[in-house]
Amino acid sequence: MDILVSVVLPLGLAFIMFSLGVGLVPDDFLRVLRRTVAFLTGALCQIILIPVVTFGVILAFGISGELAVGFMILAACPGGVTSNVIARLSKADVALSVSLTAVISLTSMLTVPLILGFAFGYFMEASATSISITGTAVTMFALTVVPVLLGLGLRAALPGPMARGEPILSRIATGLFVLIVLAALASNWALFVQNLPSLGPAITCLIAVLLIIGFLVPAMLRRTVMEAKTISIETGIQNSTLGITVAALIGGQQAFTAFALPAAVYGILMYLVVLPAILWFRRLD
């Protein structure tokens, strides 16, 4: 199990982030400069709104200790490739979705350690193990930024082969995501069953609230419906694989601890909660 947590899990996340990078082109980043207002709206929703709403849900449902920290870890994670797929199914602005995913994924090396440090200090109190913000940032850089940039560089150097190989890489990444979620749940099955009555409603509420607020904020700023749908999806959908990996790494190599449970349960409930939103989004002009 130590090998799974210390080697297999980080490599799995790195491959998933690499597959994200292969799907990117430089224009995905340049688009940020051309659509500043829409991008900043989505970015602020992800960086500020998600942690604030998550913190409120934690307090509202009386979640504490490691599970509360696990929720905040999930809140610090950016949207992954899944959000881009859901944006496409929802007839949203896929280009904006990809741009937000790309940039916020790169900034996660800063946001995840900061939110993690706050969560440990607030919810774990004296029992908290010391967390190195710098060390966590370096780890995040190695597991997220480096693979994304590597995939982006290979796509630029070998556009034809990488474009043809992207669907295969995406399928492998999806398979790894499923295995990671199942492994996290299996390792904490008793704790999962014990806390499901509180975890399930809390996570369902969190996803629903974020989808709604993520749509209302750009709508109030008079952004287009396409942009509102996209920002809603990017706000409501998090990279649960990254959450599980971070949780496992801070668990002291003790397999998958309770820190990983919120992200693991989220990885399953996310699809159930977002399905009605997809059906509704598809009907919007």
pLDDT digits (tens, 9 = 90+) for 137-171: 777 777 777 787 888 788 888 878 877 877 787 77
CA distance 54 to 207: 9
Q: What is the mean pLDDT of the chain?
A: 79
CA distance 215 to 235: 9
Tell me if 29 sits within 8 A of 102, measured CB to CB: yes
Per-residue model confidence (pLDDT) at position 52: 94
Cβ-based neighbour number of residue 132 at 10 Å = 12
The DSSP element (H or E) to which 209 belongs, if any, is: helix 189-220
Per-residue model confidence (pLDDT) at position 232: 92
CA distance 112 to 115: 5
Tell me if 78 sits within 8 A of 236, measured CB to CB: no
> Tokens 């560089």 map to which residue?
153
Per-residue model confidence (pLDDT) at position 106: 79
Tell me if 104 sits within 8 A of 32, measured CB to CB: no
Per-residue model confidence (pLDDT) at position 71: 92
Is 2-280 in CATH node 3.40.50.11540? no
Look up the pTM and report it: 0.81
For residue 155 the two structure tokens come to: 């796509």
In the predicted model, residues of the chain with pLDDT beneath 50 are 1, 128
Judge residue 98's burial from the number of C-beta atoms within 10 Å of its C-beta, 0-12 exposed, 13-18 middle, 19 or more buried.
buried
Per-residue model confidence (pLDDT) at position 252: 59
CA distance 228 to 257: 36
CA distance 15 to 13: 5
Per-residue model confidence (pLDDT) at position 209: 94
The three-point CA angle 240-241-242 to 5° equals 90
> Tokens 């704790």 map to which residue?
191
Rg (CA), the chain: 18
For residue 189 the two structure tokens come to: 């099955």
What is the b/e burial string over 60-77, where b = at least 16 CB atoms within 10 angstroms of the residue's CB? ebebeebbbbbbbbbbbb
Q: What percent of the chain has pLDDT over 70?
A: 84
The three-point CA angle 171-173-174 to 5° equals 65
